[in-house]
Amino acid sequence: MVSLRLALLNAEQDFFKFNEKYLHYVGLWPKQESKLHATLYKIFEIILHIFAIIYVVITGIGTYQHKDDTILLMSNLDKTLVAYNFGLKTVFFILKRRQLKDLLSEIKYSGDRVTEDRKKFMSLHIIVITILSTAIVSAFSLLAQYKGEMTVEAWMPFDPLKCKMNLMLAGQILAVTFIPCMYRAFAMQGLVCTIIMYFCDQLDELQNRMRGLNFSVRNENVMRMEFKEIIKKHVRLMRYSNTFTNIFKEFFLIQNLAVTIELCLNALMVTVVGFEQKTLLASFVAFLFVALLNAYIFCYLGDELIAKSEGIALAAYESAWTSWPVDLQKDLLIVIRAAQKPLKLSAGGMSIMCIQTYSQALYNAYSIFAVLNDVVD
């Protein structure tokens, strides 16, 4: 009976359900199923890995084949960079998947709650990103087909420009090999964002509970128990955050490097490509928009995590601590000191995911653009 209640409680609090389903459908989240299902899923996962490798190989050869055409080379690098970014993230995700599963399992059984509105938002934001990105990629793929061009320059065992049938076949090969990479990246992004939102919500709850602590002789035991629970949860959230950062530090590093290279390529492209090549410029701007949007989401959530974790110290100071016994005041001081070191998302130990990092990346891109523009002029 107790185990049944725990299972029901766990089901009610499983706010990662949508993300786990998304990851499962794209071959990144195997479930505990029968041996046959596990084997079939493993084959499915390997096939998707092979598709990603094929895309990287054929686009890499295609890029090399056009190394003498500067504009085409940069255009291809800009588009294939997306796949390299997604592929590297997938590799590190798979390497850290076991640790991530343990973390999610611990969070589910922690008893923490998330509002229904937040659960809906956690699912909605990644659905919007998926639809928006799919629409942009599809639009430029259809435009390339209409103009009789390759969406991305890639090696094919046949001449894709010989006839429309060959061009359509080449486009289908690129789509089949690239789309799994793209959707895998969005599935990973959805889970990462959901976990960060969970941290922020729980830190908000701790702030409210901290401010609501009132000491009196009558409720001393109750207040002490509540204060103890708050401290235990704060320590637990700090441990969760450190584990999460260790799991995804390479993920965030790849994200930052990809955006930096994307900005540099676009700055260089704008200085080289003439405005008469509107379609090419539009494709650069569109892919840059998606990259910046994804980077902004991570940096915004990282900034929120810093602010919410620092808010614990302010909430502790704003509580009615002046009427507390000396021993509780000392414990509160420890909480304040611990909260003054905020929770942060580290990008491989090289930078912190926050709005300041995002702004610095934009500033660096503009500086590169200004320098290149002067050189070209």
In tens, the pLDDT along 154-197 reads 888 888 888 888 888 888 888 888 888 889 999 999 999 999 99
* Helix or strand (DSSP H, E) at 203: helix 164-211
User: 44 falls in which pLDDT band (50, 70, 90)?
Assistant: very high
Write the pLDDT tens digit of every residue in 313-346. Answer: 999 888 888 888 888 888 889 888 888 888 888 8
% pLDDT > 70, the chain: 91
* Helix or strand (DSSP H, E) at 356: helix 355-376
Domain ranges in the chain are 18-376
Residue 376 has pLDDT above 70, yes or no: no
Residue 91 has pLDDT above 50, yes or no: yes
Helices (H), 66-163: 70-95, 97-108, 116-147
Angle at 113 between CA 111 and CA 117, to 5 degrees: 165
Write the pLDDT tens digit of every residue in 129-152. Answer: 888 888 888 887 887 778 787 878
Alpha carbon distance 152, 174 (integer Å): 8
Contacts of 239 (CB under 8 A, 6+ apart): none
User: 305 falls in which pLDDT band (50, 70, 90)?
Assistant: very high
List the beta bridge partners of residue 352.
346
**Around Cβ 196, how many Cβ atoms within 10 Å?**
23
What are the DSSP calls for 307-319, one per residue?
HHHHHHHHHHHHS
Write the pLDDT tens digit of every residue in 262-274. Answer: 777 777 776 666 5
The position carrying tokens 């999610």 is 104
CA nearest neighbour of 90 among 328, 229, 250, 280: 250
Alpha carbon distance 375, 310 (integer Å): 45
Contacts of 297 (CB under 8 A, 6+ apart): 125, 129, 189, 193
Residue 248 has pLDDT above 60, yes or no: yes
Q: pTM here?
A: 0.87
Contacts 24+ apart (CB under 8 A), 356-365: 356/303, 357/256, 357/299, 357/302, 358/295, 358/296, 358/299, 358/300, 361/256, 361/259, 361/260, 361/263, 361/295, 362/263, 364/260, 364/263, 365/260, 365/263, 365/264, 365/266, 365/267
Contacts 24+ apart (CB under 8 A), 85-89: 85/185, 85/254, 85/255, 85/258, 86/52, 86/181, 86/182, 86/184, 86/185, 87/52, 87/56, 87/181, 88/254, 89/185, 89/188, 89/251, 89/254, 89/255
The string over 242-255, giving b where at least 16 C-beta atoms fall within 10 Å of a residue's C-beta and e elsewhere, is eebbebbbbbbbbb
Out of 62-76, 92-106, 244-258, least confident range: 62-76
